[in-house]
């Protein structure tokens, strides 16, 4: 873009970057105009105040549009509720330091976007923590010797197997006693005969 092309919306910009920013603002303005409901001035007021709060416009092209919205709101009697259009530039040389301090103070205040980002980060970390807890619970459950929903079948099979073993041992003991008793009875009969 040559310097003669740095004209956007009737304004001559000092750099290509500023001209491109103004062109982006023109696209935003066109989009907003396609969605704007001028038959509902309260809705226009809400959009106007939100655009100012979020600092959507930074160039004279955007400020010119804000000024036209402000004039509309004044005409509809909502001018007292409309925020003033903040200029983020200083035109006198002796107050530049004061302006820089004021802008730095404004940037320190959290915006809605930064608060949402912080909440999103917190939510992601909480979800990661909860996933780790769920994995830990599964590991503990799998390694536990108590029957639970994951290992109840094995626990029951082991329990019945041990019962079966005990029964077989007791049966073997009973048979052994029975044999011993039968031998004694047989020996007693042989002695009696």
Is residue 28's pLDDT more than 60? yes
Q: Are 35 and 67 in contact (CB under 8 A)?
A: no
Tokens found for residue 103: 């802008």
Is residue 161's pLDDT more than 90? no
Mean pLDDT to the nearest integer, 67-94: 80
User: What are the Cα distances from residue 42, in Å, to 37, 78, 117?
Assistant: 9, 8, 29
Q: What are 37-47's pLDDT values in tens digits? A: 889 989 989 99
Q: What are 112-127's pLDDT values in tens digits? A: 667 788 889 999 999 9
Is residue 107's pLDDT more than 80? no
Alpha-carbon distance of 159 to 189, in angstroms, equals 44
Is residue 133's pLDDT more than 80? yes
State the maximum Cα–Cα separation within the chain, in Å, rounded to a whole number.
140
Q: Enter the pTM of the model.
A: 0.47
User: What are the Cα distances from residue 37, in Å, to 40, 57, 104, 149?
Assistant: 6, 20, 35, 59
Average pLDDT over the chain, rounded to whole?
82
Max avg pLDDT among 8-22, 84-98, 115-129: 115-129
Q: Are 67 and 83 in contact (CB under 8 A)?
A: no
Q: Where are the domains of the chain?
A: 3-109, 111-143, 151-193
Mean pLDDT to the nearest integer, 156-172: 87
Count Cα neighbours of 19 within 13 Å in the Cβ-side half-sphere: 15
């Amino acid at each position: 873009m040559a310097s003669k092309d740095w004209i956007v919306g009737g304004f001559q910009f000092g750099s290509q970057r500023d001209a491109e920013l103004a062109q982006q603002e023109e696209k935003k303005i066109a989009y907003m105009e396609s969605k704007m409901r001028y038959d509902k001035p309260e809705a226009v007021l809400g959009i106007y105040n939100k655009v100012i709060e979020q600092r959507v416009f930074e160039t004279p092209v955007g400020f010119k549009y804000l000024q036209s919205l402000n004039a509309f709101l004044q005409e509809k009697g909502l001018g007292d509720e409309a925020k003033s259009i903040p200029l983020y530039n200083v035109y006198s040389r002796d107050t530049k330091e004061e302006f820089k301090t004021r802008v730095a103070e404004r940037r320190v205040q959290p915006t809605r976007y930064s608060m949402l980002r912080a909440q999103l980060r917190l939510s992601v970390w909480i979800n990661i923590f909860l996933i780790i807890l769920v994995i830990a619970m599964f590991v503990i459950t799998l390694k536990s010797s108590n029957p639970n929903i994951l290992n109840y079948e094995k626990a029951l099979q082991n329990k019945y197997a041990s019962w079966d073993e005990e029964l077989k041992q007791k049966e073997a003991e009973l048979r052994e006693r029975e044999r011993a008793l039968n031998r004694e009875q047989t020996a007693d009969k042989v002695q009696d005969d």
